[in-house]
């Protein structure tokens, strides 16, 4: 009994310490460093959370922080490693899954949510574009589309079936390099995907998408060629003329964090009896239906407490971005909503997460019952172990923005100073950022992204 006691106590202590040092516990201080743009401090905090099960998150956070610091090649190396890890983990590890059923989901290797791994290609594409490698940027867009197809096959019926934003920037990149047929296809996919966004996320797409498709269609159908953006393919012997276009991606706020919520579910004597003849998941499914019961039905054998992830509710102060250049002023429009996608994704998977969590908790309770029969002290410490190891998996890529806006402005060729003003819901300026030496070339697109943390 003493041997069993010390083994249980050791495991309980180890798992409890692991729970106290989960990735999510670092996110508050980590985000505080990001808000002040103290990226070196943020990187140091990420180092503290580094462990094998969080390797993917470590790569994602480092990739994004290096992107914001202008270390584009290094950023892509981190993102490339993140892709490699994600592909390895896409097929579940049997041993880790089995351990997660016994202990908790937070000990598994984090595999990344679908929308997170698509966001990687957005940042990698920008990195390559800034490095002067537009073809490599387009490769990232194609990889994202292939990955979306794979997710569509394996993820089943989920709200996030497609990514309108990645299709949109793919179209903008294709058109900027004169590949109009590919641009047209991307804009068509953009329209379809934004139609899904409207239904799933109540999201209104940018108003320029329809215009972009019509413009490319007109050129491909023999209309007047747009020498600003199509000259590479239509009439390559002529130099681009006229204004260029500045395309700004404004990344706003923080994606909601996952937090832990605990719920209590009644276990009846009949559940104990049924568990001897059916799979524990069948019992767990029935127990999960009691989540919203006002009061238990009949005598309760045991109150089962389970820990589940949920997204906190958070809205950034910034409502939109006003862009000033020369004597021109425009306001950005929403183009991506990571907050809504993340919440819908968790909601889609929530029933399965709940059943698995209940099944694990129920199995732990049955172990406790058996241990208690053998020895009350052993039963006590078994129950202690069960409680200490019940931790929700609250990991996520916490430095992602809440949403992304797009702003597009035609500008004369030359060097420009661009002023970006973050506006709240009342139109008040809450933050200003100025970019100098922004070069606009005749008939070409210049891409720029920036981050507003408020």
Task: Give residue limits of the domains in the chain.
Answer: 1-22+242-454
User: What are the b/e assignments for 75-107, b being 16+ CB within 10 Å?
Assistant: bbbbbebbbebbeebeeeeeeeeeebbebbbbb
Are 384 and 12 a contacting pair, CB within 8 Å? yes
- Residue 227: per-residue pLDDT: 41
The model's pLDDT over 165-211, given as tens digits with 9 standing for 90+, comes to 999 999 999 999 999 999 999 999 999 999 999 999 999 999 999 99
Helix (H) or strand (E) segment spanning residue 403:
strand 403-411
- Residue 108: per-residue pLDDT: 79
Cα of 43 vs its chain's centroid, Å: 19
- Give CA separation, 275 vs 265, 283, 293, 438, in Å: 16, 6, 22, 67
- Residue 53: per-residue pLDDT: 81
Alpha-carbon distance of 358 to 385, in angstroms, equals 16
Helix (H) or strand (E) segment spanning residue 57:
helix 55-68
332: nearest Cα among 189, 184, 449: 449
Low-confidence stretches of the chain (pLDDT beneath 70): 1-26, 91-106, 155-157, 223-241, 372-389
Are 60 and 112 a contacting pair, CB within 8 Å? yes
- Give CA separation, 227 vs 170, 172, 182, in Å: 20, 15, 18
String of DSSP letters for 157-223: S-S----HHHHHHHHHHHHHTT-HHHHHHHHHHHHHHHHHHHHHH--PPPTTHHHHHHHHHHHHTT-
- Give CA separation, 442 vs 244, 246, 416, in Å: 5, 11, 13
State the Rg of the chain over Cα: 26
Alpha-carbon distance of 206 to 210, in angstroms, equals 9
Alpha-carbon distance of 294 to 136, in angstroms, equals 57
- Residue 276: per-residue pLDDT: 86
- Residue 19: per-residue pLDDT: 47
What the block records as the tokens of 249 is 């991606």
Alpha-carbon distance of 433 to 448, in angstroms, equals 13
- Residue 128: per-residue pLDDT: 98
- How many residues in the chain? 454
Helix (H) or strand (E) segment spanning residue 329:
strand 328-331
Q: Quick count: other Cβ atoms within 10 Å of Cβ 162?
A: 22
What the block records as the tokens of 241 is 């003329």
Alpha-carbon distance of 439 to 214, in angstroms, equals 28
pTM value? 0.87
Alpha-carbon distance of 148 to 195, in angstroms, equals 16
The model's pLDDT over 43-61, given as tens digits with 9 standing for 90+, comes to 888 887 777 788 999 999 9
């Amino acid at each position: 009994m003493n041997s069993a006691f010390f083994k249980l106590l050791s495991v309980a202590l180890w798992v409890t310490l692991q729970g106290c040092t989960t990735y999510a516990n670092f996110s508050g201080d980590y985000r505080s460093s990001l808000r002040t743009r103290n990226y070196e401090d943020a990187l140091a905090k990420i180092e503290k959370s580094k462990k094998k099960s969080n390797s993917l998150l470590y790569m994602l956070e480092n990739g994004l922080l290096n992107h914001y610091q202008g270390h584009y090649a290094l950023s892509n190396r981190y993102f490339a490693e993140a892709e490699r890890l994600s592909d390895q983990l896409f097929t579940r590890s049997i041993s880790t899954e089995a351990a997660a059923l016994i202990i908790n989901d937070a000990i598994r290797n984090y595999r990344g949510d679908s929308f997170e791994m698509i966001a990687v290609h957005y940042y990698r594409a920008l990195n390559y574009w800034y490095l002067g490698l537009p073809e490599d940027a387009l490769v990232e867009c194609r990889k994202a589309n292939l990955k979306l197809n794979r997710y569509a096959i394996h993820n089943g019926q989920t709200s996030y079936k497609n990514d309108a934003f990645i299709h949109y920037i793919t179209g903008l990149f294709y058109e900027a390099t004169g590949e109009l047929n590919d641009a047209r296809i991307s804009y068509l996919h953009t329209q379809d995907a934004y139609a899904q966004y409207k239904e799933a996320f109540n999201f209104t797409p940018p108003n320029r998408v329809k215009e972009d498709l019509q413009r490319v269609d007109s050129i491909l159908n023999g209309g007047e060629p747009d020498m600003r953006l199509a000259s590479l393919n239509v009439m390559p012997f002529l130099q681009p003329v006229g204004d260029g276009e500045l395309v700004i991606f404004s990344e706003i706020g923080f994606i909601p964090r996952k937090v832990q919520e605990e719920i209590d579910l009644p276990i009846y004597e009949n559940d104990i009896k049924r568990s001897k003849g059916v799979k524990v998941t069948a019992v767990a499914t029935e127990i999960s239906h009691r989540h919203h019961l006002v009061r238990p039905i009949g005598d309760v054998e045991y109150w089962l407490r389970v820990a589940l992830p949920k997204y906190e509710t958070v809205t950034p102060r910034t409502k939109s971005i006003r862009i000033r250049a020369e004597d021109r002023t425009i306001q950005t429009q929403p183009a991506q909503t990571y907050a809504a996608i993340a919440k819908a994704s968790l909601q889609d998977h929530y029933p399965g997460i709940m059943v698995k969590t209940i099944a694990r908790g129920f199995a732990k309770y049955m172990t406790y019952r058996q241990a208690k029969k053998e020895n009350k002290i052993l039963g006590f410490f078994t129950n202690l172990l069960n409680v200490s190891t019940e931790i929700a998996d609250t990991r996520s890529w916490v430095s992602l923005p809440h949403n992304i806006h797009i702003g597009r402005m035609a500008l004369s060729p030359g060097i420009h100073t661009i002023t970006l003003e973050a506006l709240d819901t009342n139109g008040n300026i809450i933050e200003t950022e100025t970019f100098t030496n922004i070069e606009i070339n005749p008939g070409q697109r210049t891409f720029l992204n920036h981050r507003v943390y408020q």
